[in-house]
């Protein structure tokens, strides 16, 4: 006997106890779960009545009686999905195996063993876990003083946890989150974040299964133009004003004349900054301090600057597929016969490849609603004749309009995209070094899709494909960015990219 504990009667009186696992059993959705119980002391259970049930004795999951499984009292949702593991039944060990595990299988179970007039039972817990879809992240547009970014994921169990982080891994603490549960009991989540720091450059949404400790994540780039128009010079001016205010507060001995001189100097600086901004608006390049996204260029221990060359130049076409017609200035492409429906794909590429740097261009699309076409980039030596597949493993990073809607060609089976508004202009952002290809609906300012971090090898070419409909496309290169240590002579890629014939 142990002091403080009750003394159990001898086994001749108590007969047996039933023991179950003390820790929860974890099973994957659509997988298999085994719920074991055993007798203490070990004894042959072949001629016992065994029952696994939920909260009530009548809610039978499996019944074993008279040497075989009985199905008359079994709950319908377990019919055809359960079986008795009886390999060690003679040693007093038995288990019920549940196949095609569902979310509704999650919870507590009781196992019941009866021999003659004596019976005992034990409880055990099954935790069902499921990894749902990878999060889809898109930009909804400006909101207040930032950009609203939304993350959606579905078919998770149990309720997943969401976290937003920036490029450095720092967590965003303030964001909204909403969950919903479908008829199968699986959870979907929608989390919205307002990014107010234009230097964030890219944000990542991760969805975590709390039972498995596993997560899926997706990042999205937020180009500078998507933030509410706020002058970097005004921000610098506001910072200078704050510092100056503190200095004036702690240095009251300054004379009024000195104060007036400083105010006039600040006004001159502001006028100079505004003039430089006007130069930028008129497509004149200028060297900016670190006020555009740090996502583009980062340095340690220095105040980096970088040059943004903002151009509005048309793509110039040289020649194209025989079924395609180029405009007289070779700045747009469409069908020679606007009623033609091609059995294959007719495409043009950029004349000069991209091997470094960050580009942003937009494509004006006319009559795109009832047409089939695709836009983006591809590797240099991809197959573009006859029937071919547009997917990253084939060297294509493509978003297009086909199958009655917009799709991303992530695999051989395109991923359907949900757009709030059909775009008449699509923005394409290519960061070669950052391995990023992203698409934006410039009609409503929303994010369309970003490919997972790509593996770029060799040259990439802008890609335009027409398949059917009366579609017309006109690309326009808007921005090219590189670092301060690179000179004008380093620019080996022409800003005018020209379609290359098949």
Which pLDDT score is estimated for 145?
81
- Using CA atoms of 327, 333, 339, 345 in order, give the dihedral in degrees to the nearest 10: 150
Out of 120-134, 141-155, 254-268, 470-484, least confident range: 470-484
* Rounded Cα–Cα distance for residues 299 and 302 (Å): 6
Using 50, 70 and 90 to split pLDDT, how confident is the model at 343? Answer: low
Out of 30-44, 241-255, 275-289, 308-322, least confident range: 275-289
Q: Are the C-beta atoms of 109 and 190 separated by less than 8 Å?
A: no
pLDDT, greater one: 325 or 446: 446
Average pLDDT of span 423-433: 84
Strand, coil or helix: what is 472?
strand
CA dist list (Å): 163 to 171, 175, 185: 7, 9, 22
- Sequence-separated (6 or more) residues with CB below 8 Å from residue 145: 196, 228, 230
CA dist list (Å): 157 to 102, 120, 136, 387: 10, 33, 17, 40
Question: Would you give the DSSP letter of residue 434?
Answer: T
pLDDT, greater one: 263 or 214: 214
- pTM score > 0.75 for this model? no
Domain ranges of the chain: 17-129, 133-226, 308-480
* Rounded Cα–Cα distance for residues 219 and 197 (Å): 16
Q: Which CATH class is domain 133-226?
A: mainly beta
Using 50, 70 and 90 to split pLDDT, how confident is the model at 314? Answer: very low
CATH architecture of 17-129: Sandwich (2.60)
Pairing of strands 161-166, 171-172: antiparallel
Using 50, 70 and 90 to split pLDDT, how confident is the model at 424? Answer: confident
Which pLDDT score is estimated for 231?
46
Please check whether the two domains, 17-129 and 308-480, share a CATH topology. no
What mean pLDDT value characterizes the chain?
Answer: 76
Out of 163-177, 343-357, 359-373, 487-501, least confident range: 487-501
Q: Measure the CA angle with vertex 403, ends 151 and 191; round to 5°.
A: 5
* Rounded Cα–Cα distance for residues 21 and 95 (Å): 11
pLDDT, greater one: 159 or 453: 159
Which pLDDT score is estimated for 337?
61
Share of the chain above pLDDT 70, in %: 68
Q: Please say if the pLDDT value at position 296 is more than 80.
A: no
Which pLDDT score is estimated for 446?
79
Q: Please say if the pLDDT value at position 242 is more than 70.
A: no
Residue pLDDT, tens place only, 37-93: 999 999 999 999 999 999 999 999 999 999 999 999 999 999 999 999 999 999 999
Q: Please say if the pLDDT value at position 8 is more than 70.
A: no
- Using CA atoms of 219, 223, 228, 229 in order, give the dihedral in degrees to the nearest 10: 160
Using 50, 70 and 90 to split pLDDT, how confident is the model at 26? Answer: very high
Residue pLDDT, tens place only, 81-122: 999 999 999 999 999 999 999 999 999 999 999 998 899 999
* Rounded Cα–Cα distance for residues 169 and 497 (Å): 36
Residues in the chain: 502
SS (H, E, C) 201-239: CEEEEEEEECCCCEEEEEEEECCHHHCCCCCHHHHHHHH
Average pLDDT of span 339-366: 72
Q: Please say if the pLDDT value at position 147 is more than 50.
A: yes
Is residue 244 within a helix (H) or strand (E), and if so which, with residue range?
Answer: helix 232-250
Using 50, 70 and 90 to split pLDDT, how confident is the model at 331? Answer: low
CATH placement of domain 308-480:
2.60.120.920
Q: What is the CA radius of gyration of the chain?
A: 33
Using 50, 70 and 90 to split pLDDT, how confident is the model at 317? Answer: very low
Which pLDDT score is estimated for 168?
87
Question: Would you give the DSSP letter of residue 354?
Answer: B
Which pLDDT score is estimated for 299?
27
Strand, coil or helix: what is 270?
helix
pLDDT, greater one: 359 or 121: 121
Q: Please say if the pLDDT value at position 133 is more than 90.
A: yes
Average pLDDT of span 339-361: 70
* Rounded Cα–Cα distance for residues 108 and 126 (Å): 6
């Amino acid at each position: 006997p142990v002091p403080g504990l009750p003394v159990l009667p001898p086994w001749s009186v108590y007969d047996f106890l039933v023991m179950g696992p003390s820790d929860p059993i974890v099973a994957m959705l659509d997988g298999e779960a085994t719920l074991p119980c055993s007798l203490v002391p070990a004894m042959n259970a072949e001629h016992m009545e065994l029952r696994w049930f939920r909260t009530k004795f009548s809610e039978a999951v499996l019944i074993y009686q008279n040497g075989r499984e009985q199905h008359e009292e079994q709950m319908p949702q377990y019919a055809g999905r359960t079986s008795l593991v009886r390999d060690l039944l003679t040693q007093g060990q038995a288990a019920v195996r549940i196949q095609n595990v569902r979310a509704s299988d999650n919870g507590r179970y009781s196992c019941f063993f009866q021999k003659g007039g004596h019976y005992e039972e034990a409880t055990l817990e099954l935790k069902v876990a499921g990894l749902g879809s990878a999060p889809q992240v898109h930009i909804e547009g400006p909101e207040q003083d930032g950009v609203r970014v939304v993350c959606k994921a579905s078919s998770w169990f149990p309720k997943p946890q969401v976290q937003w982080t920036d490029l450095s891994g720092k967590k965003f603490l303030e964001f909204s989150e909403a969950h919903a549960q479908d008829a199968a009991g699986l959870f979907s989540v929608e989390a919205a974040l307002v990014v107010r720091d234009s230097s964030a450059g890219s944000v990542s949404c991760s969805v975590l299964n709390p039972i498995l400790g596993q997560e899926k994540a997706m990042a999205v780039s937020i180009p500078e133009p998507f933030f509410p128009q706020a002058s970097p010079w005004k921000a610098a001016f506001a910072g200078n004003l704050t510092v100056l205010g503190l200095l004036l507060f702690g240095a009251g001995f300054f004379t009024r004349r000195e104060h007036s001189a400083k105010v006039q100097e600040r006004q001159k600086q502001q006028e100079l900054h505004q003039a430089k901004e006007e130069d930028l608006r008129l497509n004149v390049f200028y060297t900016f301090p670190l006020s555009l996204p740090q996502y583009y260029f980062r340095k340690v221990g220095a105040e980096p600057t970088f040059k943004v060359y903002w151009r509005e130049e048309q793509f110039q076409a040289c020649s194209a597929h025989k079924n395609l017609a180029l405009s007289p200035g070779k700045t747009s492409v469409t069908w020679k016969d606007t009623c033609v429906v091609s059995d294959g794909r007719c495409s043009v590429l950029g004349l000069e490849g991209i091997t470094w740097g960050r580009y942003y261009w937009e494509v004006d699309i006319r009559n795109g609603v009832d047409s089939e076409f695709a836009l983006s980039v591809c590797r240099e030596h991809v197959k573009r004749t006859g029937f071919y597949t547009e997917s990253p493993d084939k060297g294509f990073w493509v978003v297009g309009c086909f199958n009655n809607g917009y799709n991303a060609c992530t695999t051989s089976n395109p991923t359907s995209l949900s757009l709030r508004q059909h775009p008449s202009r699509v923005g394409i952002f290519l960061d070669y070094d950052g391995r990023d290809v992203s698409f934006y609906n410039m009609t409503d300012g929303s994010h369309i899709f970003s490919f997972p971090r790509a593996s770029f090898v060799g040259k990439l070419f802008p890609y335009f494909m027409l398949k059917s409909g009366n579609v017309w496309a006109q690309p326009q290169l808007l921005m090219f960015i590189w670092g301060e240590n690179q000179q004008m002579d380093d620019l080996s890629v022409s800003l005018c990219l020209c379609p290359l014939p098949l």
